[in-house]
Amino acid sequence: MTSTAPPRLAGRPAFLVIDGRVAAGRALLVARGRLVHGCTDILAEALAALPAGVSRLDLDMGDVEFMDPGGLRFLDLLGGYSHREAVPATTANWRGQPLRVLELAGLDTTDPLRTTTVAERLHVLEEEVDQLRRAIASRPVIDQARGVLMALHTCTSDEAWDILREASQLSNTKLRDIAAAVTAGAENDGPPPPPEVRAALRTALSRLGR
């Protein structure tokens, strides 16, 4: 058996190490450490170091102790290599937290390398992360707008939220933009909300008897 693991690059963080052996056309890679952002570069180096004529690739994940969403990119890269090179590939011995991540991601823990499944789940998770980031970024201005409505119209926090949400639906305007218009209009010499937003706010307020 011959080692196929590439030498570690100087300065490369030791968050993941992949050792490899090839015998009778079968490559066995053993991953150790953490599957995090940047791990795909290490896998790409290990795959590039495989000799020609490899007919099967098995990856032992038993020593992987942690996995974040970067691990899905790792699997996507491995699945892409398998499809592109027409080399059957498997991963085995998932355990602990990485196994739980596969389960939460909706992947088949016995066969997470189904390329379409990994790619689709990765795309869905990235969209969910983007939505969460946008929601977090929008939260301060929405809270400010709720405070403005509560002060101006003597309503509760929940009622203020309902007003913003309904105005967003009535005017076909993003909730964050509604909140920003309300907050800006409450400032000294601030611009009033656009006409369609003002009309939607009036309708929403009237339904609450304000």
Domain that holds residue 149: 138-207
- CA–CA separation, 30 vs 200, rounded Å? 60
Give 83's pLDDT tier (boundaries 50, 70, 90). confident
Go through the chain and tell me how many residues it has.
210
Which of 65, 98, 113 is a domain's end point?
A: 113
CATH number of the domain at 27, please.
3.30.750.24
Structural domains of the chain, count: 2
- CA–CA separation, 62 vs 72, rounded Å? 16
pLDDT of residue 14: 58
pLDDT of residue 129: 59
Per the domain annotation, does 87 fall within a domain? Answer: yes
User: Is 192's pLDDT higher than 60?
Assistant: yes
Per the domain annotation, does 34 fall within a domain? Answer: yes
- CA–CA separation, 60 vs 153, rounded Å? 62
Per the domain annotation, does 48 fall within a domain? Answer: yes
Between 9 and 183, name the one with better pLDDT: 183
Per the domain annotation, does 126 fall within a domain? Answer: no
User: Is 71's pLDDT higher than 50?
Assistant: yes
59-70 confidence digits (pLDDT tens): 999 999 998 878
Q: Which two tokens stand for residue 158?
A: 């929940």
User: Is 156's pLDDT higher than 70?
Assistant: yes
Whether the CA torsion 85, 86, 87, 89 is positive or negative: it is: positive
Element (H, E) at 175: helix 175-185
- Starting at the earlier edge strand, list the strands of the sheet with 2-3: 2-3, 16-23, 26-35, 56-67, 89-92
Contact 45, 29 (CB under 8 A): no
Between 54 and 70, name the one with better pLDDT: 54
pLDDT of residue 72: 85
User: Is 130's pLDDT higher than 90?
Assistant: no
Between 111 and 176, name the one with better pLDDT: 176
Do residues 108 and 27 both lie within one domain?
Answer: yes
102-119 confidence digits (pLDDT tens): 888 788 888 788 645 565
Per the domain annotation, does 131 fall within a domain? Answer: no
pLDDT of residue 171: 92
